[in-house]
Structure formats: structure tokens, C-alpha cells
Amino acid sequence: MVTRGFTGRPKGAEPTNRIPPGQHLVDYFPVLSAGPTPRIEPENWRFTLKVGPRPIKTWSWDEFNALPMTKMVRDIHCVTTWSMLDTQWEGVLVDDILADAFIEPPTGFTLAHSFDGYSTNVPTADLTTGKAMVALKYAGKPLERDHGGPARLLVPHLYFWKSAKWVNGLQFTERDEAGFWELRGYHIYGDPWREQRYTSD
């Protein structure tokens, strides 16, 4: 339905083939989160890999920073309709985390967990083969608390709530178990190109 009197913002030379349906570009980095912004000091930071309830390996901040670092330039898309192009990230690929624990992806599904109790589910195949990382830097600088620092998951091809802020572990699960927002009406997978915003989309 055309809205009477609405023409939209004059469009510049936007590369529209990179902007999923219903999204618009922003030139700043908005902040959205469900609770207070946690303050996590490096000495208290831990990252744990689990298979089901069983911990496989835990890294301290220094140990984690000693893992191979990878840079990624990606477009990101938030379910609240903003998108940013060419965002610059640096961190540890999920592949390299698994390699450091000497394991192959053990199950088809993963829950990412965060210091604030947040969780989100992602199929394991969407995290491996270079698709996702635990990011420690944004635009060349340590990741700010507001954006999930010291470390957040980055799964850039899914809506950005899947890129859990303040991440402190990955847990491999047998079944696809809904995370925090997925239990609260948001889509179980969250592909921006298929506009999978809410459960019923």
C-alpha cells in the first residue's frame, strides 16, 4: 500500500544490491541492548567452549589474544532496520577457536552465551568455514563496551542480534535451542535477505 504523501529520503548513490529489503543505511553505529551495559575487566574475562553441559576448554583474556587474529570487512544488518556497509572487524575465527581446542564442529547447532545472561542460537555451519568470529576490535580500536566489548560474536550474514555482545562462550547443542530474543518473538534463524525478523516471517 502506498502511503499518502511519503516519498522517502532522497536516495544518494547507494549500492542498493547490498541493502536487504526493509533496511536503510546509517552513518553512525546505533546501540540496542536488553539490559545495563556490563563492565568486564580483562582479568575477569573468560571464554569457554562447551559440548552440551561439558566444558571442553577455557581461555583467559591473554590466552585468547594469543590465538590467530583475522580481519573481516562486512556489511551488517540490524532487525530494527539499520544497515552499515564495510564495517571493519578483527578477532578470532570460530574455526581457530575450535582448532585451538583440537576439535571438529561436534554438533549441528550452537548457543552463544554472554556475560549478562544473554544467549542466541546459530547453526554451527553458519559459524565455521570463515563465516564468523569472536571480534575484539572494531575499526582498528578495542571494541567499546556499548558495542559488546571486550569481545562480541560476529555473524555478519545474519541479523545483528545473532552477533551476541559480551560473549563468554559457545555451547554446541544437539538440537536448535532458541536463545534470548528467539524466545521473545524473534526469528529462529534471522536471514536479512529473506527478512526473517519475527517468528512468523
Partner 1 sequence: MSDNDGSAADLGWQNARIIRIEPRTATIKSFFFQLPVPLRHRAGQHVDVRLTAPDGYTAMRSYSIASAPDGTDIIELAIERIETGEVSPFFDDVAAVGDDIELRGPLGGHFVWRPADAGPLLLIGAGSGLVPLLAMLRQRRDVDSDTPAALLLASRTWSDVLYADELLVESERPHGMQLRFALSRQAPQRPQDYGRRIDAAMLAEVIGLLPAAPAAVFICGSNGFVNTAADAVLAAGVHATAVRTERYGG
Ligand X SMILES: Cc1cc2nc3c(=O)[nH]c(=O)nc-3n(C[C@H](O)[C@H](O)[C@H](O)COP(=O)(O)OP(=O)(O)OC[C@H]3O[C@@H](n4cnc5c(N)ncnc54)[C@H](O)[C@@H]3O)c2cc1C
Q: Which one of residues 7, 28, 53, 140 is an interface residue with ligand X (CB under 6 A)?
A: 28
Q: Which residues pair with 27 in a beta bridge?
A: none
80 near ligand X, rule: CB under 6 A: yes
Minimum Å gap between C-beta 200 and partner 1 is 4
Total number of residues binding partner 1 (CB under 8 A)? 36
Indicate the residue whose CB is closest to ligand X. Answer: 28
Alpha helix (H) residue ranges in 32-177: 61-65, 94-100
Judged by CB under 8 A, the chain residues 17 through 76 that form the site for partner 1 are: 21-22, 24, 30-38
At closest approach, how far in Å is the CB of 159 from ligand X?
A: 14
Q: Which long-range contacts (CB under 8 A, 24 or more apart) does 97-103 make?
A: 97/47, 97/49, 97/67, 97/134, 97/170, 98/49, 98/128, 100/57, 100/59, 100/67, 101/49, 101/56, 101/57, 103/49, 103/51, 103/56
For partner 1, the binding residues (CB under 8 A) are: 1-9, 11, 21-22, 24, 30-38, 80-82, 116-117, 146, 180-181, 183-185, 198-200
